[in-house]
Amino acid sequence: MELFLKDFLVLKEDEIMDKTKSPIAVFDSGVGGISVLREMVKIMPHEDFLYYGDSKNAPYGTKTKEQVKDLTVAHVQEFLNMGCKAVAIACNTATSAAVASLRQMYPDLPLVGIEPALKPAVQYKKNAKVLVMATPMTIREGKFQHLLDKYGQDATVYQLPCPGLMEFVESGHYKSKEVYDFLEQLLYDYKDNQVDAAVLGCTHYPFVRKQIQQVLGDQVKIFDGAEGTARELKRRIEVAGLSNPDTTYEGHVTFHNSAPTPEKMRLCQALLAYED
């Protein structure tokens, strides 16, 4: 997968006519959604991707639902104006706030959101004790509460809002000692075999998965929704007949950010290449 760091994606006229050659838009409140983008690149290597991170307005998890919805809808409208053939909302908070409205607005658009991977975590073992780590808004919104009502009866589920955690990734300090110290304090009550599984309910959190694993212990199974989201978007694109038929084509990734400093764009590249 060839990587291009550009400010804008310019589509040629013939690419607009043939939507199978158009790019897939992947959106997050910042750089966290690159954890989902990585999975999409793996399973759709012949597609072009436009990744947009709204770092200027991050974090979304502490905003109101209406603020997040307005920002998300505006970004999706811009992606469609640019000719994108599909959209992934790679942000749990934005999914909770806006994906239902967007599906009503664009019923024919291959569109996916992401949600905490509660189902596989609950099914991991009988009577599992599951820790859900997410932004405050993701936890309080109806979409997660619906998941909890649907799957939480078969497990003990602990809901842990994590304000401040995504900022370590957003600032590029996801490998620092400070993030480990932060997690030691945040997860103190869940150490020493207190939980069987942990759900990473924000797309920034996979970039600190190693530290979360170290704090909770190797016996804890960690789940996130990136791979499932990527598979679902691939399925929807195929159903819509929009997959790129040229299997010899090497797809490109184009990054754009609302706060496009050189440091932020280098961080995007580093996170795309990040190995767990």
Side by side, which strands form the sheet with 221-223? Answer: 156-161, 129-134, 197-200, 221-223
Tell which residue, 132, 81, 137, 146, has the closest CA to residue 109.
81
Q: What is the pLDDT of residue 26?
A: 98
47 DSSP 8-state letter: S
Among 84, 162, 202, 268, the one annotated catalytic: 202
Q: What is the pLDDT of residue 17?
A: 54
Tell which residue, 164, 236, 176, 230, has the closest CA to residue 202.
164
- The answer to whether 265 touches 55, Cβ cutoff 8 Å, is no
DSSP strand pairing (86-89 vs 111-112): parallel
Q: What is the pLDDT of residue 123?
A: 93
Amino acid identity, residue 165? L
Q: 132 φ, ψ to 5°?
A: -105, 115
C-alpha span between 238 and 114 (Å, rounded): 19
pLDDT tens sequence across 129-166: 999 999 888 888 878 889 999 998 889 999 999 999 99
- Which residues are registered as beta bridge partners of 256? 52
Among 84, 91, 162, 268, the one annotated catalytic: 91
- Contacts with 225 (C-beta within 8 Å, 6 or more apart), sequence order: 36, 92, 114, 115, 116, 117
Q: What is the pLDDT of residue 152?
A: 87
pLDDT tens sequence across 171-181: 999 999 999 99
Q: What is the pLDDT of residue 5?
A: 42
Residue 53, burial from CB neighbour count under 10 angstroms (0-12, 13-18, 19+): buried
Q: What average pLDDT does the segment 73-80 reach? A: 96
The mean-pLDDT minimum among 31-35, 57-61, 86-90, 105-109 falls in 57-61
Is 162 considered catalytic here? no
Domains annotated on the chain, with CATH: 2-114+226-272 (3.40.50.1860), 118-223 (3.40.50.1860)
Q: Is the pLDDT of residue 14 over 80?
A: no
Q: Is the pLDDT of residue 276 over 90?
A: no
205 DSSP 8-state letter: G
Q: What angle do CA 143, 147, 151 make, to 5 degrees?
A: 175
Q: What average pLDDT does the segment 41-50 reach? A: 97
In percent, the amount of the chain with pLDDT more than 70 equals: 94
Q: What average pLDDT does the segment 258-263 reach? A: 93
Q: Is the pLDDT of residue 232 over 70?
A: yes
Is 202 considered catalytic here? yes
Q: What average pLDDT does the segment 55-66 reach? A: 89
Q: What angle do CA 73, 63, 92 make, to 5 degrees?
A: 60
Q: What is the pLDDT of residue 15?
A: 47
C-alpha span between 62 and 93 (Å, rounded): 9
Averaged confidence pLDDT in the chain? 91
Q: What is the pLDDT of residue 61?
A: 83
Q: What is the pLDDT of residue 136?
A: 87
pTM above 0.85, yes or no: yes
Q: Is 159 helix (H, G, I), strand (E, B) or coil?
A: strand
- Contacts with 19 (C-beta within 8 Å, 6 or more apart), sequence order: 83, 85, 242
Q: What is the pLDDT of residue 149?
A: 92
Q: What is the pLDDT of residue 275?
A: 81
